[in-house]
Amino acid sequence: VQLQASGGGLVRSGDSLRLSCAASGGTFSRYAMGWFRQAPGKERAFVAGMNWSGDRTDYGDSVRGRFTISRDIPTNTLYLQMDSLKPEDTAVYYCAAVLYGGSRLESGKYDYWGQGTQVTVSS
């Protein structure tokens, strides 16, 4: 499956942003999906995940209650709604997929990755 992330940009603290990840080349409903982010000088970190059946989601501690992961099967699109953004959310955001996976996996468990989209939050 091929993934293409989009929707990043420059926003102010407190603003909202929605990232999208368009999937192609596979049966989208069979894939567990995740969002990760990587800030300069830091390791790639888990942000949010959804299991393959879509009935379970998980979030990183720093984003829980502010970010929401969702998917639209008919359009093969994964979303990350980000509200109450903070400067520390600044990073490149990546979407990832693995066949029949769970909702929270280490980055190494994902087989497919999008190219990343930059999110910058100014104070």
Q: Is the pLDDT of residue 64 over 90?
A: yes
Query: What confidence tens digit (pLDDT) does each residue in 5-62 have?
Result: 999 999 999 999 999 999 999 899 999 999 999 999 999 999 999 999 999 999 999 9
pLDDT at 26: 87
Report whether 16 contacts 41 (CB < 8 A).
Answer: no
Computed on alpha carbons and rounded to an integer, the radius of gyration of the chain in Å comes to 13
Coil, helix or strand for 89? helix
**pLDDT per position as a tens digit, 7-17:** 999 999 999 99
Residue 54: predicted pLDDT: 95
If we measure between CA atoms, which residue out of 26, 49, 46 comes closest to residue 37?
46
Predicted confidence band at 82 (pLDDT cuts at 50, 70, 90)?
very high
Percent of the chain with pLDDT over 90: 97
Tokens of 7: 């929707």
Q: How far apart are CA 93 and CA 115, in angstroms?
A: 9
Structure tokens at 50: 């959804």
